[in-house]
Amino acid sequence: MFKCRHRFHDILIVSIIFFKKEVNGMNSIGQTIKMYRKMLNLTQEELAQKVRVGTHTIEKYESGEQIPSNQTLLKLSTALDIPASELAKTNHVNSATTN
């Protein structure tokens, strides 16, 4: 039971951080991916393996150099255990950088 409570606490903290960044206009899909990846204690390499992309691709997503495709967003949401809508709402489409 303690583990569940701890997980709820982590989610609450992440949600507060996410909300603050969104209010300040500072949130991006890359920041969201990184935040949830770190919350799950995953390395970029581990996330890349789960999503079946290269580590360099995850680096590009997190740095904002590249935006994941809708298909990749679904894979990321599954790997990070969050709703795809959570990622999609931060996905500012830029056709020049989509994967």
pLDDT of residue 38: 95
CATH code for residues 2-88: 1.10.260.40
**Full-model pTM:** 0.66
How far is it, in rounded angstroms, from Cα 78 to Cα 74? 6
Tens of pLDDT, residue by residue over 40-85, are 999 999 999 999 999 999 999 999 899 999 999 999 999 999 998 8
Task: Return the structure tokens found at 17.
Answer: 């951080």
Tens of pLDDT, residue by residue over 10-38, are 665 555 555 554 444 445 889 999 999 99
Q: Where are the domains of the chain?
A: 2-88
- pLDDT at residue 3 greater than cutoff 60: no
What does each C-alpha distance from 52 to 25, 57, 78, 85 come to in angstroms? 30, 10, 12, 20
